[in-house]
Structure 1
């Protein structure tokens, strides 16, 4: 995606400490209003977010480091295993609390430190589950949730094509 079609959005979010914080997401220009609305709704719901910063804040912009840090992020210039660009590289996907909401496909777990959160019967603040108001904040606006996928399961991931 050309950089001129991406926008940095500064958002308020509720931290796990119960306090208001501000963070940045980079998303496609046409999704800015959606992202602002979704995160305003999550804030109203008091859905906690561990942190929210762009992945370039991590050494080498390493996705695994960002996920291990439970960092909510959007734009990330990374390819899919097929070689095509991911929707993150197009600014059309957001990962929310990725440590608590891991990606799992067979033995592939991302982040690798998220094993305790494979038990989706756990109901802890910041975890995402089908039917949660936090998931619905995205889905009712036309976003797809990776937790609804058969394989892989990507509990952190929301996308809008």
Structure 2
């Protein structure tokens, strides 16, 4: 008993010191309980008018290390069902690579207030809300976007008078996006270092690519894709996203520089080309079977992987 007790205290000490190494492939996917859905509703994070109901959402629980190197087992994000396994893979890879995350709790802990969540440097995903400064629904409202380390990756807007605003305001210290600078400590936790990991698992669109605003913390699917998946059955959306990720993998092997040179056509563009349509979600609404038949066919990899 004395030996067992001593071992227990040693283990606790190592864990508290952040010295333990947790399993890399440990992300878990679970449905949301009735109580969790009620909590989200009470916090204003979801409502009956949301394009993705609570039954279509999944909780991804994952391991991560904070900026002090301490290991945590309680990272949590809520996302759409079809993307959840891939989000788990993203955060397993981030843990493996030693990418630090300050914290990750569902945004109902902040009553759905994105500003409070950003100020707390909280990594988050689902939130039924509009895009900041507009009436258009955010991709977060579909569980199809992730914001990571908002302090290190601020949301930057530009006023007509030339003023620049950083959200959170403390993010101004990360205005210079160089990870390594002469005479300065290394900047850690910045999204630029993990773009490829997100892209490999389906989140190929990064807000840091935008001109105005610039949203360094933000990774997403396209709106057309999110709208389409929200109209699909879970099984259809799962197959669609599997094809989407496989398309990126195949195109990356055929044209290794297509994505890094920002000349990549994603699987949605391929499907629109095959179906001769301008909008995939409109095509699905008009004829779901036609779209699903196209998805079920094995894609023909060609130069359409690359923008001309």
Please indicate, yes or no, whether the TM-score normalized by the shorter chain is above 0.5: yes
2:95 to 29, 43, 62: 43
Please list the CA deviations of residues 131-158 of structure 1 after superposition, one character each: whole Å capped at 9, or x if unmatched: x2x2210022331111122222111000
Please list the CA deviations of residues 13-53 of structure 1 after superposition, one character each: whole Å capped at 9, or x if unmatched: 11112122121100000101110110011011000000000
TM-score, structure 2 length as denominator?
0.49
Structure number with the bigger relative contact order (C-alpha 8 A, sep ≥ 6) is 1
Question: Which consecutive unaligned segments of at least 5 residues does structure 1 have?
Answer: none
Q: Distance in 2 between matches of 1:15 and 1:9?
A: 18
Larger Rg: 2
Q: Distance in 2 between matches of 1:2 and 1:114?
A: 33
Deviation at 1:92, TM superposition (A): 0.4
- Which residue of structure 2 aligns with residue 12 of structure 1? 63
After the TM superposition, which parts of structure 1 deviate over 6 Å for at least 4 consecutive aligned residues? none
2:202 to 142, 145, 155: 142
- Which residue of structure 2 aligns with residue 99 of structure 1? 151
Deviation at 1:128, TM superposition (A): 2.2
What SS is found at the alignment partner of 2:76? strand
1:77 to 124, 128, 135: 128
Question: Which consecutive unaligned segments of at least 5 residues does structure 2 have?
Answer: 1-51, 159-163, 181-186, 223-308
The number of equivalent residue pairs is 157
- Which residue of structure 2 aligns with residue 119 of structure 1? 176
